[in-house]
Amino acid sequence: MKSRLLLALLSSLAWLGTVQAADTSVKGAPEPVLRLCMNCHGVDGNSESPMIPRLAGQQADYVERQLMAYREQSRTNAAARNYMWGMAHMLSDDEIKQTAAWFARQKPQPAATTHADELVRRGDAAFHNGLPSKDVPACAACHGANGEGGPIAPRVAGQHENYLKVQLKVMATDERPAATAMQGFAKHLDQADIDALSAYLSGLH
């Protein structure tokens, strides 16, 4: 009798434990986020891994369009194929809308970056003024003065530096055919420009 009671108590405690964990960290998250996305992007979109883009506070339209591009296999760089084609394949149109809306609502956490001031200053200048000698327009014109994004372009503030570097190179190829806005000038950016822009943007909040 005693052991039965103990068992009942233990199992209800375990049950409470799960409910509490779910309540504090993932309240209201759509089912596909809990089942799939959170394993890599974090439930609130503030992914830890430098290879996995942050989605917290990202523009909902942009997230939707990228998920469609993965699902129709038109975004074709290696990480897209290896990680996101399979994920997007599992999402219905409704689930794409729900997950995009969820991540757009989440608060981006500040990223810790440690870069030489000189590099960050160079990135700041290129972002706001462009690089006129290379026909590179001001990034801020489309991505917003603080990299927050808007109806035209995605949020780039606080994104992982490594992901930014990879994508700025991808933009100079035909692996993201929807990124026509970037393709005209992406190939004019050299490694030093990419390093400076990525250092600056990853530290923005």
Nearer to ligand HEC by Cβ, of 7 and 64: the residue is 64
Burial level of 119, CB count in 10 A (0-12/13-18/19+)?
Answer: middle
Site for ligand HEC in 109-128 (CB under 6 A): none
Q: Do residues 25 and 43 make contact, with C-beta atoms less than 8 angstroms apart? A: yes
Nearer to ligand HEC by Cβ, of 11 and 49: the residue is 49
Q: Do residues 163 and 52 make contact, with C-beta atoms less than 8 angstroms apart? A: yes
182 binds ligand HEC (CB under 6 A): yes
104 binds ligand HEC (CB under 6 A): no
Q: Do residues 100 and 132 make contact, with C-beta atoms less than 8 angstroms apart? A: no
Residue listed under structure tokens 């001001």: 138
79 binds ligand HEC (CB under 6 A): yes
Closest approach of Cβ 75 to ligand HEC, in Å? 6
Q: How many CB atoms lie within 10 A of CB 43?
A: 17
Closest approach of Cβ 14 to ligand HEC, in Å? 27
Site for ligand HEC in 151-180 (CB under 6 A): 152-154, 156, 164, 167-168, 176, 178-179
29 binds ligand HEC (CB under 6 A): no
In Å, what is the CA distance from 39 to each residue of 34, 48, 76, 147? Answer: 8, 11, 22, 26
Q: Retrieve residue 12's tokens.
A: 């209800």
Q: What angle do CA 48, 114, 198 make, to 5 degrees?
A: 70
Choosing from 29, 30, 71, 99, the residue that interacts with ligand HEC (CB under 6 A) is 99
- Residues near ligand HEC (CB under 6 A): 32, 36-37, 39-41, 51-53, 55, 63, 65-67, 75, 77, 79-80, 83-84, 87, 91, 99, 136-137, 139, 141-143, 152-154, 156, 164, 167-168, 176, 178-179, 181-182, 197
